[in-house]
């Protein structure tokens, strides 16, 4: 048998050493892997063959050109025990059918109608802030985006339950890496404290969602996404509609993904602005000039290019989704290397977005990188915070609108400064959270 051609990579003396090192501190692990072996590396961990690639052409090949030859990675497949067969976890024809049914709910005209609600809720949450106070901005942004996703997508007010639901989401997000180990399925079934917390969190969120579904089934169309899910039909098969279980799976996926990523993005954005006063000054100048003291609207988005550039640069340095994995469904060659069926391919937005090849002085916060001329000169997959191909995040347009409007609304009234000496450290789970929260002091403008 001919020897396989694989990239260079680390070797481990014990079977689970590499997996343990990755799970315990994944970003430094990948940074060391890239520093030592370059844009292609290979390792075996817990019996799995893992290929790491940091090349935009290869990423495009896997996520776009040959997407049908791959399926989701192991952790997300195991997350089906929680998320079911929602857009994040489903595969093949089931995924295509669900996406066809949900896509109309995210058309530009429909999401434009959510803009005023987003701004109003931002003003409501920040209306309780006190000049000179210090608070955890991540907690505030999580609360705000939770209220927004509940109201705009499900026409539900969860303010009284926001803190509890936030804790539930934190428990579920933190369980991501526990699903990677060889005994993960067994551990989740054992009566361990960690397993009990995960199951209790899932049950709590399930009750909230099932109550919303039951209300829509009995109460008719309220013009929100949930009403559309209940009434949705497949354009290619008009007799097909979603069961309560399918609606539940999609609602849970959108509920989790719809606020977690935006909350993280905004938290990182304000921390970066605090450390880069020149960029903060340019942002405030644009917001003041365009809005002239009034509320931002959907029509203002095209007049706030620097605001969006700030958000783009923040998601370059701290991408809310920081890693993507795929599993090969057949033997193939990728980038000149042999990739067998069942192998795992790993791409990291964290590393690609910080590549010096595409971003000179990559650790410097520079929203100017997103001027049209500069952005157009880079390969498309040098920046992919929302993924790519048929599995591109269905809520991308919603997220850009929400992030830009909330950034403009808050920056219009507040200047935020990091608490002196506060440690900034990313916590890479299924999303990229700030490990210690983000303590910031408020200054009214």
Final residue of a structural domain among 336, 352, 368: 352
14 Cβ partners below 8 Å, 6+ apart?
A: none
Residue 283: predicted pLDDT: 98
Domain boundary residue among 352, 370, 401?
Answer: 352
Q: Is the Cβ–Cβ distance between 300 and 280 less than 8 Å?
A: no
Is the domain of 331 the same as that of 374? no
Domain total for the chain? 2
pLDDT of residue 410: 98
User: How many angstroms separate the CA atoms of 36 and 29, rounded?
Assistant: 11
Query: Read out DSSP for 154-175?
Result: H----GGGHHHHHHHHHHHHHT
Same domain, 202 and 309: yes
SS3 182: coil
Q: Strand, coil or helix: what is 180?
A: coil
Spatial distance between the Cα atoms of 392 and 95, rounded to a whole number of angstroms: 12
Q: Are residues 68 and 96 in the same domain?
A: no
| pLDDT at res. 359 | 97
335 and 401 in a single domain? The answer is no
Find the CATH number of the domain harbouring 252.
1.10.630.10
Contact (Cβ atoms closer than 8 angstroms) between residue 149 and residue 406: no
My answer on whether 417 and 358 are in the same domain is yes
Domain boundary among 307, 337, 352: 352
Residue 141 vs residues 14, 52, 157, 163, 405: alpha-carbon distances, Å: 42, 33, 16, 12, 13
pLDDT attached to residue 22? 86
Whether residue 265 is found in the same domain as residue 396: yes
Residues 149 and 228 reside in one and the same domain: yes
* The two three-digit tokens of residue 176, written as one number: 């991501």
CA angle 322, 324, 326 (to 5 degrees): 170
Kindly state whether residues 146 and 257 are assigned to the same domain: yes
Residues 58 and 135 in one domain: no
| Domain identity same for 176 and 290 | yes
Domain that holds residue 52: 1-78+325-352
Task: Please indicate, yes or no, whether residues 34 and 151 belong to a single structural domain of this protein.
Answer: no
Cα radius of gyration rounded to whole Å, the chain: 22
User: CB pairs under 8 A, 24+ apart, for 24-29?
Assistant: 26/177, 26/323, 26/428, 27/322, 27/350, 27/426, 27/428
CA 380 to chain centre: 19
Residues 172 and 53 placed together within one structural domain of the fold: no
pLDDT in tens, the chain (445 residues): 568 899 999 987 766 788 788 888 999 999 999 999 999 999 998 788 999 999 999 999 999 999 999 998 877 777 776 677 878 888 888 888 888 888 887 888 888 889 999 999 999 999 999 999 999 999 999 999 988 988 887 777 766 665 666 666 666 666 655 555 555 555 556 566 756 766 676 677 777 777 777 777 776 666 677 787 777 766 666 666 777 788 888 877 777 777 889 999 999 999 999 999 999 999 999 999 999 999 999 999 999 999 999 999 999 999 999 999 999 999 999 999 999 999 999 999 999 999 999 999 999 999 999 999 999 999 999 999 999 999 999 989 999 999 999 999 999 999 999 999 999 999 998 889 999 999 999 999 9
| Burial degree of 36 (CB within 10 A; 0-12, 13-18, 19+) | exposed
């Amino acid at each position: 048998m001919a020897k396989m051609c694989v990239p260079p990579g680390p070797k481990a003396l014990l079977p689970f050493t590499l997996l343990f090192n990755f799970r315990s501190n994944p970003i430094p692990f990948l940074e060391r892997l890239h520093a030592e072996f370059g844009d292609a590396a290979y390792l075996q961990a817990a019996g799995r063959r893992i290929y790491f690639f940091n090349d935009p052409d290869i990423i495009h090949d896997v996520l776009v050109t040959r997407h049908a030859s791959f399926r989701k990675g192991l952790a997300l497949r195991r997350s089906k025990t929680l998320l079911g067969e929602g857009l994040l976890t489903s595969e093949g024809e089931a995924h295509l059918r669900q996406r066809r049914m949900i896509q109309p709910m995210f058309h530009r005209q429909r999401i434009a109608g959510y803009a005023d609600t987003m701004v109003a809720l931002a003003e409501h949450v920040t209306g309780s802030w006190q000049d000179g106070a210090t608070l955890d901005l991540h907690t505030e942004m999580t609360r705000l985006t939770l209220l927004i996703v509940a109201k705009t997508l499900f026409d539900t007010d969860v303010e009284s339950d926001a803190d509890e639901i936030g804790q539930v989401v934190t428990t579920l997000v933190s369980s991501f890496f526990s699903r990677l180990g060889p005994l993960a399925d067994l551990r989740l079934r054992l009566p361990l404290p960690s397993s009990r917390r995960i199951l209790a969190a899932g049950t709590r969120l399930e009750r909230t969602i099932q109550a919303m579904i039951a209300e829509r089934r009995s109460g008719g169309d309220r013009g929100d996404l949930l009403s559309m899910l209940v009434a949705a039909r497949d354009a290619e098969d008009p007799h097909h509609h979603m069961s309560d279980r399918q609606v539940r799976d999609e609602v849970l996926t959108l509920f989790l993904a719809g606020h977690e990523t935006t909350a993280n993005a905004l938290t990182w954005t304000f921390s970066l602005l605090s450390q880069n006063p020149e960029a903060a000054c340019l942002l405030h100048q644009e917001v003041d000039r365009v809005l002239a003291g009034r509320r931002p609207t959907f029509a203002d988005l095209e007049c706030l290019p620097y605001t969006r550039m700030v958000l783009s640069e923040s998601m370059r340095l701290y991408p809310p989704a920081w890693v993507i994995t795929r599993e090969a469904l057949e033997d193939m060659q990728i980038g000149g290397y042999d990739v067998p069926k069942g192998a795992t391919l790993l791409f990291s937005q964290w590393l690609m977005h910080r590549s010096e090849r595409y971003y000179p002085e990559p650790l410097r916060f520079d929203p100017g990188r997103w001027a049209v001329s500069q952005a157009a000169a880079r390969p498309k997959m040098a920046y992919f915070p929302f993924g790519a191909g048929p599995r591109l995040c269905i809520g991308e347009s919603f997220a850009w609108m929400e992030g830009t409007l909330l950034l403009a609304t808050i920056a219009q009234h507040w200047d935020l400064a990091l608490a002196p000496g506060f440690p900034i450290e990313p916590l890479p789970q299924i999303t990229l959270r700030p490990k210690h929260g983000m303590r910031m002091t408020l200054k009214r403008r």
